[in-house]
Chains A and B, each alone.
Chain A
């Protein structure tokens, strides 16, 4: 069940990604319409984060390509935000909350110039949107998990992009933060932003997302939630790995075989 968008803003074309020659994603191919909240859903080890990192150009694909706004990602980075997993950074780093949010402006100001008063104002405004305005001067090690996630979100907002890729923004946050975040995402989507969220909770996925990408090393389903997110597709995605797929991957790793002939 793969339904393509009419005028896609995100296009992932026949994407295969490998770690040390072992494919972790096979021939993933889907499109997303603009202004939707899309959930990338699948069991542990399905390759959800890998897919996001590959779209952002952090991992080179073995084959296939990605287009955002019909162009390669390197050409449109100023219009794309990325929220990495919260655990991926050292929260004991000597910077304040405001410093972190200001990093969202670094793409706009460029490599050598410093952020200015306008960037400060935008950063504070974004902190306000996630309900963290009072914490601007706080050192980041003093934040709770939910607050850390809000700070990351504010940093992405400060980029003022059109597409937002978020890796597990609901992992390890309290219910209040989760509701606050989803409310904010809905607001952004109704303002025409496109939001792609890696998520692992099946219960809430149905209500949070209007587009679903169901993944388990290969694409199981993609499309509007009511059509792509059915008991049948969920069963396919969660019913266990395709054993043969894993075995072929192991053989490729062992023999250092390329995933394409040339």
Chain B
């Protein structure tokens, strides 16, 4: 608890640097990442983040120090080269895009690792800590770095903001953007540069390897929560910022913990949560809807049993024994029992031991379902030319989903009929 207060009081300047740096870089990465995701270029982000490693090593070899500005320039150059290489290979050879990305990613990263190993064994004292660029160490962020990252992040946010409309258009309908006279190739180039820039801002804190996740994961998670692109980008930025903050906090309380992997773990957790629990699109809400539909079907079918027994015997309000119900329709007995109990709870049925009967509300609901069933059967025979002995199964499903509006329209189109195709009465309520 102490650490929480210490951390969020931001009294330690180092904490301030780390938090501000992390939040800025994850916000800008998430923003750019949203457009990479929508342009279906997620793998490209992965390739770039691996391809900046040789640039960092080359910058170190060239300058002999871990000067952040040099590192950024080096990273930017090789990140960019990787994208040019992917485009060139795709355009000029038979190799398809996915293979080209895989190729470029591993070759660039391999070269980077070779250079890194060479530097580490060269005995250069300045090299210690260079390996942090692979997995990141936010604790190494210092004041001067922060200024650079803040500027980069601000540039990213402003540029993406300015070109929001254009990026959206290109992502949605590229040929149309071209037809409108938009400089599509230049916009591609710009988004590519922004991608490299976003990866580069994260190399100190998150490390090159995991920056790809900070680009794509927040955006992928955000897509589950909205169908509006502006909101999606906003949510992605919020998720990214939260992951950045959480990563900084965890590595503050446990200094041996690397920041980057924790940021990725947090943002992946957000993505998993979205995948399972986001309203409408998540797995759990979908399962819940299915289950609810199953229950509605079971309940309405049970009420129908009572109605059909009523029709057969001429009285609807008597009590029925459990065996009488199972004899009238083929049902799973435990399911029927559970459904009967739910219907009692809904006050559509009353029960006395093993006897069950319709309430007024239950009778109305049962009548309506039977009515919809027969109306639909009639609709199928008279409008869709389906034989009368083929319509029952269709109607079994449709009876559960027809709304009162559709019911009225159905009735009007059929001319307020009295009999269904089997010459049975269509009940009125």
Contact = CB atoms under 8 A, between A and B. Distances in A.
A155 B169 CA distance: 12
B268 interface: no
B69 to A, nearest CB: 29
Contacts of B38: 93-94
Given A93-B38, A106-B165, A82 B227 contact: no
Interface in A78-103: 78, 80-82, 84, 88-90, 93-96, 99-100, 103
Q: Is the interface of A mostly helix, strand, loop or mixed?
A: mixed
B178 A139 contact: no
B179 A58 contact: yes
B275 to A, nearest CB: 16
A88 B172 CA distance: 10
A139 B182 CA distance: 25
Contacts of B226: 94
Interface string B154-191: 00000000110110110111011111111100000000
Contacts, number: 75
B229 A94 contact: yes
Given A89-B172, A103-B169, A139-B227, A94 B179 contact: no
Contact of A53 (B166, B175, B177, B229): B175
A111 B228 contact: no
Contacts of A139: 227
Nearest to A113: B165
B168 A95 contact: yes
Interface residues of B, number: 25
B75 interface: no
Given A106-B180, A107-B180, A94 B227 contact: yes
B137 interface: no
A82 B182 contact: no
B181 A84 contact: no
A175 interface: no
A127 B226 CA distance: 23
Of listed A53, A78, A100, A111, residue having the most chain B CB within 10 A: A111
A56 interface: yes
A90 B172 contact: yes
B223 interface: yes
Contacts of B27: none
A101 to B, nearest CB: 12
Contacts of A159: 180
A45 interface: no
A96 B181 CA distance: 23
A183 interface: no
Given A84-B173, A88-B173, A74 B228 contact: no
Interface residues of A, number: 31
B232 interface: yes
Contact of A95 (B163, B176, B177, B229): B229
Given A82-B175, A95-B228, A112-B162, A107 B223 contact: no
Given A95-B168, A95-B228, A82 B176 contact: yes
A201 to B, nearest CB: 24
Contacts of B172: 89-90, 93, 95, 100, 103
A139 B227 CA distance: 7
A243 interface: no
Contact of B173 (A56, A78, A94, A103): A103
A114 B165 contact: yes
A82 B228 contact: no
A213 to B, nearest CB: 19
A141 B181 CA distance: 27
A94 B229 CA distance: 5
B39 to A, nearest CB: 10
A81 B175 CA distance: 12
Given A106-B180, A112-B163, A139-B227, A58 B175 contact: yes
Given A93-B171, A107-B181, 7 more contacts: A80-B179, A90-B172, A94-B228, A95-B227, A106-B169, A111-B182, A112-B166
Interface of B: 38, 162-163, 165-166, 168-169, 171-173, 175-183, 223, 226-229, 232
25 contacts: A57-B179, A77-B179, A77-B181, A80-B179, A82-B175, A82-B179, A84-B176, A84-B179, A89-B172, A93-B171, A94-B226, A94-B232, A95-B168, A95-B172, A95-B229, A103-B173, A106-B169, A106-B177, A107-B180, A111-B166, A111-B182, A112-B162, A112-B163, A112-B166, A115-B165
Interface of A: 53, 56-58, 74, 77-78, 80-82, 84, 88-90, 93-96, 99-100, 103, 106-107, 111-112, 114-115, 139, 141, 155, 159
